[in-house]
Chains A and B, each alone.
Chain A
């Protein structure tokens, strides 16, 4: 399943200042007994959003109905650490996020996010610290130029692995890319 192309996103931020937000926070393991990738938004940050019995918490940064216009999650360092569950980006996308900004995003989460059109944006610590102090501001993320800009004039460049960037901008299919190398794979197997 190809994600929707991602070129430019203009949206508002939702800030989680905590560091080391792990994939068990993003979606608790009890939501993983599914054979589908649909509808996981209900489990996104579930224990931050609800008490045990589906009653929304009063003090939570997360709107009950979904991210709405706050499609950009700004989070503390080492975001997405922990398990390899791709349910984490699936849940964040289904809840309504399209991008995560941090100073440092865990490897497997980053790889999973890119494959699903949730843009992981790693920026310098100074700009990151400033973004964390300004929840709800308007941010433009430009994947063509690899640049973020805020309504108050903050700017930061970011790097995205070039192939993943091409997949998002041009709709290149990574599996198709590997399948196109069938003869090289067959030759590799024969040579062993």
Chain B
């Protein structure tokens, strides 16, 4: 069989199409980057490096910047000033504004109606497209793989490389296909799939691999669900997660601001339809996940692979590490998770802050009250999500239930803008990392999907959301 006839995976096709200089034993490949996303936290030192070396930004037209990590989610006060957590946070925002102005980079600034979390706005603007290589100084860049793009997080030195050359040095990773077989049960979503998958293969199970998610349960997901799944690839250690583009993908992109139009759209469709893995394409590792068996999931430890059905019981720790995690989380071994009281709920982040996520949470919260003493924060992923949610009255649902409705940003996911838990708080969060102290010093984070997080806010303890969803369905019927 000639090389040209060898069946190739989606990943092989994406890789091959972007090699500027092939890899050799001595050197990694030089890979061309179609889209470079930039935010305020991981870019200042890269721009400084350009200045030091007297280099220009090679392709400002392939670069898109936004503000999300350090930005407040509360509006400006009476003095007209935004309530930044620190002066340093404000300085970081100003620095990106200056850097973008100096280098001719389009920035979704604080007043821009398109601003939002970097992994929410790329797809919303139609910048994220099948067949592209996409990088960002952010590990959750894997999100964009949902469109059949090759997308991965890079460090700040590499941000500098891409600014200066539009290329990165990269060894081709190994490939893995994760097949979700069967159909999801009602009330189970993409976040539950992600947590079940990570629990199965481990927090380092995907290390060194580019992962393609496939199978009927993945094909049935909306683009937003696929983004949630690919977003969490890095929590299994895989820098790259992706899904083959199909009609769902094309329907999402068509007509967006930066999507191809007219004849260019037709040409793009033809290219994109050729991207899915060929039958018989080889993968270095194949994993099967029983999608039908997945239940609404939560995490009980301090690593995303410590995940189990929300309706279950805390496992009995078996290793020193598990005991340490159990001590920190204060889960009682072999007791139902439902005995755990919740202090705070966060619905947002690049994992779960899109319109469908907010609808899912609102469905649970509509006509119900957040349990006494619980703070519930709902933070839309972008200004566009905020407007759409408000247009259908979701903000009212949240506010009437006693939750807070904030301005877009990363907020409590990384907790560097002042939004955070208090020491000891048990926070049920739709974000992606349950690391010790991630959401504030001493905070105990429980990861969950939007319906589960909303149900926990209502119940005041950890619950499986099924009862709340069924109740709503019954009421509507």
Contacts and interface: CB of A to CB of B under 8 A. Distances in A.
Partners in one complex: yes
Interface stretch (A6-14, A19-27, A65-73, A145-153): A19-27
B189 interface: no
B155 A112 contact: yes
B259 interface: no
B169 A178 contact: yes
B414 interface: yes
A5 interface: no
**Residue from B69, B139, B166, B415 whose CB has the most chain A CB atoms within 10 Å:** B139
B324 interface: yes
Given A175-B160, A175-B165, A78 B27 contact: no
Interface string B267-293: 000000000000000000000000000
Contacts of A76: 321
Given A30-B416, A181-B30, A116 B321 contact: no
Interface stretch (A56-64, A100-108, A134-142): A100-108
Contacts of A52: 423, 441
B157 A112 contact: yes
A24 B416 CA distance: 11
B42 A106 contact: no
A108 B92 contact: no
Nearest to B236: A81
Nearest to B87: A33
Contacts of B169: 163, 174, 177-178
A20 B203 contact: yes
B161 A106 contact: no
B303 to A, nearest CB: 5
Given A35-B44, A107-B207, A185-B20, A115 B155 contact: yes
Contacts of A179: 164-165
A29 B204 contact: no
B130 interface: no
Interface string B134-147: 00011100000000
A85 interface: yes
A112 B155 CA distance: 6
B139 A33 contact: no
A182 B239 CA distance: 27
A17 B433 CA distance: 21
A166 B203 CA distance: 31
A41 B459 CA distance: 43
Interface residues of B, number: 64
A152 to B, nearest CB: 24
B377 interface: no
A185 B156 contact: no
A78 B203 contact: yes
Contacts of B433: 22, 24, 82-83
B32 A188 contact: yes
A115 to B, nearest CB: 4
B21 interface: yes
A30 B416 CA distance: 5
B26 A84 contact: no
Contacts of A162: 25-27
A24 B438 contact: yes
Nearest to B207: A107
A108 B165 contact: no
A35 B414 contact: no
Contacts of B138: 83-84
Interface string A148-165: 000000000000011100
Contact of A104 (B26, B153, B157, B207): B207
Interface in B320-353: 320-321, 324
A163 B21 CA distance: 14
A189 B61 CA distance: 13
Contacts of A126: none
Contacts of B436: 24-25, 47
13 contacts: A32-B41, A33-B92, A84-B138, A84-B155, A86-B155, A107-B208, A108-B154, A115-B157, A162-B26, A175-B160, A175-B161, A175-B164, A181-B20
Interface of B: 20-21, 25-28, 30, 32, 41-42, 44-45, 48-49, 52-53, 69-70, 85-86, 88-89, 91-92, 95, 137-139, 153-158, 160-161, 164-167, 169, 171, 173, 203-204, 207-208, 237, 239, 302-303, 320-321, 324, 414-416, 423, 433, 435-438, 441
Nearest 7 A/B pairs, CB to CB: A35-B44, A112-B155, A86-B155, A33-B88, A84-B153, A86-B156, A78-B204
